Amino acid sequence: MLPVDAFITFIYVEDLSRSTVFYEEILQLPLAADQGSCRIYRIVSGNAYVGICERGERPVTENLIMTIVTDAVDAWYQRLMDRGVSCESAPKTNDTYGIYHFFARDPDGYRIEIQRFLADAWDQS
């Protein structure tokens, strides 16, 4: 089995400021990373997180991304390609979020992101 270091579910929200208050002040979830248009919170002990992101013009069908965080991005890509999984592109660097990643689709069309953080931009403790 290939390694998985953490799992993040990203949801896209209408008002990031309003949702920030909800997740930080009402739910009191610890902030793991502030990426500007996305904020990632630890939701349970261990390495499971929820991320809230500005929705913008994103279609409703694209409002969920399941993200596997791992150092083995290239190995995951090769494994999925070998098994005929549809990938949007080869792994690449995204300077905006400081990640190396790619997107695949599950059988129902949900986006699965495989990513590695490039710097110590978030707190996994």
The domains of the chain, with CATH numbers, are: 6-117 (3.10.180.10)
pLDDT at 56: 74
- Give the mean pLDDT of 53-69: 75
49 CA to centre of own chain:
9
What's this model's pTM, rounded to 2 decimal places? 0.68
Residue of 54, 48, 32 lying closest to 120 (CA atoms): 32
**For residue 122, what pLDDT is reported?**
60
pLDDT at residue 115, rounded to an integer: 94
- pLDDT > 90? residue 83: no
Residues facing 69 on adjacent strands: 6, 115
Of 43-47, 65-69, 90-94, give the range with the top mean pLDDT: 90-94
